Structure 1
Amino acid sequence: MTRFSLRVNNDLDLPTLTGLAVAAEDAGIDQLWVSNDLMMRSAPALLGALFQKTSRIELGIGIMNPFSVHPAELAMTAATLAEMSGGRFNLGLAAGSGEFLSWVGIDQQKPLTATREALRAIRALLAGERPVDVEGAGAGWTRDAYLRLDPVHVPIYIGAMSPKMLEFAGAEADGVLALLFPPEHFETASALVATGAESAGRTLADVDMPACVWLALDDDREKADRALALKLAYYGGAFSPYLLARAGLETADFQPALDALRDGDEERAIASITPQMLSLGISGDPETVIRRCRRLQELGATHLSFGPPLGPDPVGAIELLGQSVLPELRRSA
């Protein structure tokens, strides 16, 4: 059975986010992830409110990092949200954006090491153990460093894009959030996760690996394509050259769109996004989206995760997902 999740940004206000969460639960979505990008709304605070408005859907923070928040506080947050939600909380953990961290004077040193140490320390704390007793949990812990709470299991997903981080996620994490540009990069990313899992005596089946893609869905295919094109105009130039090369693109291809945005001309920016660039995400009417998602299922994806913009009308897109897309994808799984 294929699982489904949504990913949204923490720039949304609580009423808007609540509407999306309720629509996602009604549509049969399994998980909703809220980002915790620096200098926007606090994802832990948002989730505390969303748990009061939902009853079934899992909610996660995707992601938090051990540079701006100490692993001890990450464990405290995870334990508290798990307690509040009756076990519906998932923690996304990664090194974070080096650019964002530089805004507040944080130098992101050894991101893989810091993420690994944080995962081991957080897992120990949640289990009622002491990080000082766990190999590779980092330095500086004393025997007084333990949670004064009952042990709790919180699934920890690693946000990963680089080969080494993907392998680490396969070896130690409960799941991995790997943004895929293009979506068909799932085949390469999942192979790296599988390699990491095998090195630790596990298999890929032991790791929840959503195929994380950008989605824009609408009955009007042109409107959906425009929504995704605008997203790509803003962010396409920031993708890693490694990922762009997978789609036969390079950073310079997005320069016309960026120039148009600087001139305040969104229409020209949208027109600058070619069909090849548009293939970095999934967009269109239900039939088009189903066809592209089935390809991911054929590549082995058992969990599809859809990120913003979702469509020109995000709530409408979620409802359309539940009515027209998910039933077909469940039948073809």
Structure 2
Amino acid sequence: MTHHTERDVHLPVAAQPSVDSIVDYTQTAENLGYECAWLPETWGRDAVTALAVMAERTDEIDVGSSILNTYSRSPALLGQTAATLQEVSEGRFRLGLGPSGPIVIENWHGIEYGNPLRRTRETVEIVKRVLSGESVDYDGDDFDLSGFRLRCDAPEETPPVEVTGMGPKAVELAGRFADGWHGLMLTPDGMRDRLEDLERGADLGDRDPDDVQVTFGMNCCVLEDAERARELARQHTAFYVGGMGTFYRDSLVRQGYDQAEEIYDAWQEGDRERALEALDDDLLDELCAAGDAETARENMARYEEIDGVDAIAVSFPRGARPGEISETMEALAPDGD
């Protein structure tokens, strides 16, 4: 390995019994040596409140949103939120943004999805101006702001503004405008391809690509019962490819896995068994770190060895029970390598 790769944790996306349980996972991650605890926001608890509690009840671990969508809050409010969470965390906050997808944005938030790339770029630009403490004058296609600035002091240390993205243009945008990029559902070769997109974006923005923090969110499950671990990871992956819009399907097809079409079609037809069968062991091992500890660490190491990947975020299958999440977190903790 030619470079140090951070180990983060991406807290469970599935509903948790309480905010306290989310905090417990964060404290466990801190004790195990993880560098950042990323919290998603879907259609359960809002992430901002939970992140504030996480920050208050930890001391060293960074806390970040992965992701807050760019539609349900205005860019100015996202900037205010980032400034406030940076204050509460005493400089440990990282703002992760992304457009999410039309299923969530239109069916849950009731907002037209529009142009996600443009919306993300303008949001990043406005958030950075808000965090500078200067007057925000912005004339964009989606947003037109003038005459206001933060009423409180701007953060002494500006929190990074990072974005998600799966397609070439989205990753290029991250390289051009953002402080970091979060990738997921990528094979090692797919990750290398997207890093080329990020470098191209950095060149367009006259930036050093090394200044863009690259975090790969990897679905992980390590259990004494290795077969259950693999089945949980398989079910999770098939759900995302088949049931969460077309982004994940298209990403895998772009990487040369035409079987993603079969997974998607079978899931849409309600044939879960055929969808799971189409997601074979080879593809599972290309995308996930699942099974026994040795196999999982070997799969994770393939990403850690990629030049340009700065952090691996350990994430968990949506069907994993609390004890299985803890077992996985402990098995893949950085202090245990």
TM-score by length of 2: 0.86
Partner of 1:275: 281
Q: Pick from 2, 7, 13 the counterpart of residue 5 of structure 2.
A: 2
Partner of 2:113: 108
**Per-residue deviation at 1:292?**
1.4
Contact 1:27 1:321 in 2 (8 A): no
**Per-residue deviation at 1:72?**
1.2
Aligned partners of 1:195, 1:293: CA distance in 2, in Å? 26
User: Alpha-carbon deviations, 1:143-193, whole Å to 9, x = none?
Assistant: 1x2111111111111111121111111112110112133354211111111
Aligned partners of 1:54, 1:247: CA distance in 2, in Å? 42
Contact 2:132 2:154 in 1 (8 A): yes
**Per-residue deviation at 1:242?**
3.4
Partner of 2:263: 253
Aligned partners of 1:35, 1:71: CA distance in 2, in Å? 18
Query: Matched residue of 1:142: which SS?
Result: strand
**Per-residue deviation at 1:10?**
6.4
Aligned partners of 1:260, 1:138: CA distance in 2, in Å? 38
Q: Which is further off, 305-314 or 171-180?
A: 305-314
Aligned partners of 2:255, 2:335: CA distance in 1, in Å? 27
Partner of 2:174: 169
Partner of 2:78: 74
Contact 2:314 2:329 in 1 (8 A): no
User: Alpha-carbon deviations, 1:306-330, whole Å to 9, x = none?
Assistant: 22229651012111222xx6543xx
Residue segments in structure 1 that go unaligned for 5+ positions in a row: 329-333
User: Alpha-carbon deviations, 1:40-97, whole Å to 9, x = none?
Assistant: 1100011111112211111111112232111111111111111111011111111222
Give the 5 Å matches for 1:225-264.
225-237=230-242, 238=244, 239-246=248-255, 248=257, 249-256=259-266
Query: Matched residue of 1:22: which SS?
Result: helix
Contact 1:10 1:41 in 2 (8 A): no
Q: Which is further off, 252-261 or 235-244?
A: 252-261
Partner of 1:284: 291
Contact 2:181 2:215 in 1 (8 A): yes
CA RMSD in angstroms, aligned pairs only: 2.4
Contact 1:210 1:303 in 2 (8 A): yes
TM-score by length of 1: 0.87
Contact 2:105 2:111 in 1 (8 A): yes
Residue segments in structure 2 that go unaligned for 5+ positions in a row: none
Aligned partners of 1:211, 1:140: CA distance in 2, in Å? 33
Aligned partners of 2:204, 2:296: CA distance in 1, in Å? 35
Q: Pick from 86, 89, 108 the counterpart of residue 85 of structure 1.
A: 89
Partner of 1:148: 151
Q: Could you say if the C-alpha distance between residues 226 and 150 of structure 1 is closer, same or farther in structure 2, counting changes exceeding 3 Å?
A: same
Q: Pick from 299, 302, 321 the counterpart of residue 306 of structure 2.
A: 299
Partner of 2:215: 210
Query: Matched residue of 2:182: which SS?
Result: strand
Partner of 2:27: 22
Aligned partners of 2:113, 2:268: CA distance in 1, in Å? 27
User: Alpha-carbon deviations, 1:234-284, whole Å to 9, x = none?
Assistant: 22214232324425222223555666677xx8xx87566421342332212
Aligned partners of 1:247, 1:283: CA distance in 2, in Å? 22
Aligned partners of 1:216, 1:224: CA distance in 2, in Å? 5
Identical amino acids, percent of aligned pairs: 26
Query: Matched residue of 2:22: which SS?
Result: helix
Contact 1:62 1:91 in 2 (8 A): yes
**Per-residue deviation at 1:111?**
1.3
Partner of 1:11: 15
Aligned partners of 1:227, 1:67: CA distance in 2, in Å? 31
Equivalent AA in structure 1 for residue 78 of structure 2: L
**Per-residue deviation at 1:33?**
0.8
